[in-house]
Structure 1
Amino acid sequence: MHAMSPTEIFLLAMLLIFSVPYAVWRLGRTDYWAPLVVVQIIGGILLGPGLLGALYPDYYAFVFTPQTIGSLNGIAWWAVMMFVWVAGIELDVEEAWRRRAETGVTAGLALIVPLITGSIAALLMLQYDGWRGPEGATWQVVLGIGMACAVTALPILVLLMEKLEILRQPLGQRVLRYASLDDIAIWGVLALILLDWERVGRQGGFLIGFALATILIRRLLARVPERDRWYISLIWLAGCGFAADWAGLHFMVGAFLSGAVLDAKWFDRERMDQFRATILLTVMPVFFLSTGLKTQWGVGGGAVFAAALLLLIASVGGKLAGIGLAGRILGWKKGEASIIGWLLQTKALIMIIFVNILLDKKIITNETFTALLLMAIASTMLTTPIVAPRLKKLPDLLRRTH
């Protein structure tokens, strides 16, 4: 029998990554309640050690060799760096500042309330063994899980609002403003969690150097044609990712910052949409698979699912409560806060990236990661089926700008 080469095994893994989720999504017609990106994440879990590895350990070991996983991880790192970079560019900080009173109240409550409920859920989980990572202090675990419950996945929110045909409507732009501040907050909290007092000098040096380099890169990009901006920006992305990781802040913090300091107006919007769609199509499925490879059920499958349910209640309940309070303060119409709250509770990508970093730094365990991943999937799958019928009942809401 022909012994497969490492290249053939790698391509077999790629075949599984791209074919299985697509077949389920297309043949199962899941798009309404589970977009392709969600099916890909679930596919990653099914192909991971928790399920495929447990049911067919020999086959799993044959396909997902250390060499194959190393190759997949390299693709996944660069894919997610580009994705986060685009998310940073698309943050409309100027618009949020123009409407800072309304945006501040809404985004603030949308973040703080689920952060509190998520932190309470984390404290309950920590009463039992198996959820705290070997390098995680109690405050890091609690704050990390709380923030994972509070964050809104801006890129996935964009995709869902495109499907609902509200992205370019005033309502869609409002929701993006609120989500943008949440996106900024998660990276600030991550930097706080990862603050390493043994390397605080490096981290301070990175921030100073980054500030100076930002001035130079902005001046340069403002003077070159757009086609050069793309290439120079990718060099900037790689440099910031390397510098942030060297400083101990994780390369994903550098990736987000490298995009957040650039102006979206420097890039053609249609081309940016195509670039994001290309990343999602060609390389992000590899990230989803590598995410699935980290799922574990070591403390017991029942306990992991129970923790996921607890986190889902804390996340969705906290987000709806926070937006409901904001709606009362700002005098929104009946039903408005509910729709916005359900849109903003969308999780998936950014939260998964966030908890991946916590897992890499051994702040949380694989079981905690799995529970948070299940929560993110359920949260995202709830959005469209709940929001779509409510939008039909409140058509005037689409045109409200505040």
Structure 2
Amino acid sequence: MNTAELFLIAMVVIFSLPYLVWRLGRTDAFAPLVVVQILTGIALGPGALGALFPQAFALVFTPAVVQALQGVAWWGVMLFVFIAGIELDLREAWQDRRESSITAGLALGLPMIAGALAALALLAVSNGWIGPAGTRWQFVLGIGMACAVTALPILILFLEKLQLLRQPLGQRILRYASLDDLAIWAVLALILLDWTRVGRQLAFLLAFALASLALRRLMQRVPEPDRWAIALVWLAVCALGADWSGLHYMVGAFLAGVVIDAHWFDQHHRDQLRHHVLLVLMPVFFLSTGLRTQWGVGGALVLAAAALLLVAAVAGKLLGLRLAGRLLGWPPGEAALIGWLLQTKALIMIIFANVLLDKQVISSDAFTALLLMAVGSTMLTMPRVRRLLARQPGLRGPG
């Protein structure tokens, strides 16, 4: 078979297998389609399918096919991060800055500390978790932040399913997650700071700031269809500049979205774009992510590392929200509900971990452990939240 035919076979598998598992297995109560797609990507990777059926794996996933899939995945994930940047609205968080800063700070800080301690425990067992270009502090900070991440797009999906998105509680949770989302990318930029290329990075940031001012003036003078076309060019240019400077194209994609106001675009159009990117492009990213999973230090050790990171992430987040609830006088049960909803990690944490792997800060084994932790944390969210709401329906708020 030629490369085009093998590519299309891979695409058939990517889109059919997760859908069949999700639909026939009726997993939506604990694992929405996006989570099943991530799990399928892991299952199709070299550590699972590749190990069990190496000849079939090598036949379909040739270097040329993998390269083609990776190109689709790059563009899909850049669009996804770009949309997340557009939807980041800090104005409401500023209006309730005391509550938002306390809650977001504790929701991010405690799981990050717990994750950093877990990272130190992993290093006490083996240094094989650190990538060839990573340092000890980068690894510890990166793992800590990965344990603290909340995936804002998945959180929106869950809030919609629970009919909480338009409730005051749902809007509060989005504010907390938005602040944490901003901190995540700031920490990632710090981890990726390259003193040998600091001149390039400063040049990029200066050019980005000046270009952003010009872009904002232009976007306010053109109709919405032109704004979408300009936005795509802007995304590609910012991603290119960030990668050229050493900050990674994903940081550039997020920055490109942050300087664009969400109200410049119809909300329905933004929602549809996010939905279509998730449906059409992100499954390819999940498979390409699965192809990067490795079990070099041993399957049992990777699973143990994932379990340790999962405990650190869940316990740290719940403890942080409980402390915030006590400081702010929340009603009983609200801290636990918010704490579990903020456990959703799947997409943003996987993107975060992909960047760390690209930059060789973490090893493939650490990446696999983080991937499993993200999936486990996300799958715990909906069952726990539904149980809490069943016990205390008043937590939903009015309506």
TM-score band, normalised by shorter chain:
over 0.9
Q: Which amino acid aligns with 2:235?
A: L
Which of 101, 108, 133 is the equivalent residue of 2:98?
101
Which residue matches 2:286?
A: 288
Which residue matches 1:8?
A: 5
Q: Give CA-to-partner distance per residue, 1:23-71, whole Å, 9 cap, x none.
A: 1000000001010000000000010000110001111001000000000
Which residue matches 1:49?
A: 46
**In the alignment, structure 1 residue 249 sits paired with structure 2 residue 247:** yes
**In the alignment, structure 1 residue 91 sits paired with structure 2 residue 96:** no
Q: Which amino acid aligns with 1:60?
A: F
Which of 153, 169, 193 is the equivalent residue of 1:195?
193
Q: CA deviation at 1:168?
A: 1.2
Q: Provide the rounded CA distance (Å) in 2 between the counterparts of 1:65 and 1:215.
A: 44
Q: Provide the rounded CA distance (Å) in 2 between the counterparts of 1:264 and 1:173.
A: 16
Q: Give CA-to-partner distance per residue, 1:91-142, whole Å, 9 cap, x none.
A: 1110001110000000000011001000000000011222111111000000
Q: CA RMSD in A?
A: 0.8
Q: Provide the rounded CA distance (Å) in 2 between the counterparts of 1:389 and 1:133.
A: 40
Which residue matches 1:65?
A: 62
Which residue matches 2:359?
A: 361
Q: CA deviation at 1:399?
A: 3.1
Q: Which amino acid aligns with 2:222?
A: V
Which of 218, 223, 226 is the equivalent residue of 2:224?
226
Structure 2: state its 5+ residue gaps: none
Q: Give CA-to-partner distance per residue, 1:244-273, whole Å, 9 cap, x none.
A: 000000000000011111111111111111
Which residue matches 1:110?
A: 107
Q: Which amino acid aligns with 2:319?
A: A
- 340-349 or 390-399: bigger deviation: 390-399
Which residue matches 1:40?
A: 37
Q: Give CA-to-partner distance per residue, 1:317-368, whole Å, 9 cap, x none.
A: 0000001000000000110000000001111000000000000111100000
Q: CA deviation at 1:388?
A: 1.1
Does the aligned pair in 1 maintain the 2:333–2:395 contact within 8 Å? no
Q: CA deviation at 1:169?
A: 1.1
Which residue matches 2:306?
A: 308
Q: Which amino acid aligns with 1:9?
A: L
**In the alignment, structure 1 residue 122 sits paired with structure 2 residue 119:** yes
Q: Provide the rounded CA distance (Å) in 1 between the counterparts of 2:19 and 2:198.
A: 45
Q: Provide the rounded CA distance (Å) in 2 between the counterparts of 1:171 and 1:88.
A: 22
Which residue matches 2:182?
A: 184
Which residue matches 1:133?
A: 131
Where does structure 1 differ by over 6 angstroms across 4 or more consecutive aligned residues?
Answer: none
User: SS where residue 129 of structure 2 aligns?
Assistant: coil
Which residue matches 2:234?
A: 236
User: SS where residue 48 of structure 1 aligns?
Assistant: coil
Q: Which amino acid aligns with 1:105?
A: I
State TM-score, norm by structure 1: 0.98
Work out the number of aligned pairs and report it. 397
**In the alignment, structure 1 residue 76 sits paired with structure 2 residue 95:** no
Q: Provide the rounded CA distance (Å) in 1 between the counterparts of 2:341 and 2:355.
A: 25
Q: CA deviation at 1:396?
A: 3.1
Which residue matches 2:383?
A: 385
Q: Provide the rounded CA distance (Å) in 1 between the counterparts of 2:132 and 2:49.
A: 27
**In the alignment, structure 1 residue 29 sits paired with structure 2 residue 26:** yes
Q: Provide the rounded CA distance (Å) in 1 between the counterparts of 2:189 and 2:130.
A: 19
Q: CA deviation at 1:193?
A: 0.3
Which of 202, 206, 209 is the equivalent residue of 1:208?
206
User: SS where residue 19 of structure 1 aligns?
Assistant: helix
Which residue matches 1:319?
A: 317
Q: Provide the rounded CA distance (Å) in 2 between the counterparts of 1:72 and 1:187.
A: 25
Q: CA deviation at 1:390?
A: 1.1
Q: Which amino acid aligns with 1:52?
A: L
Q: CA deviation at 1:394?
A: 2.9
Structure 1: state its 5+ residue gaps: none
Which of 335, 339, 359 is the equivalent residue of 1:341?
339
User: SS where residue 24 of structure 1 aligns?
Assistant: helix
Which residue matches 1:146?
A: 144
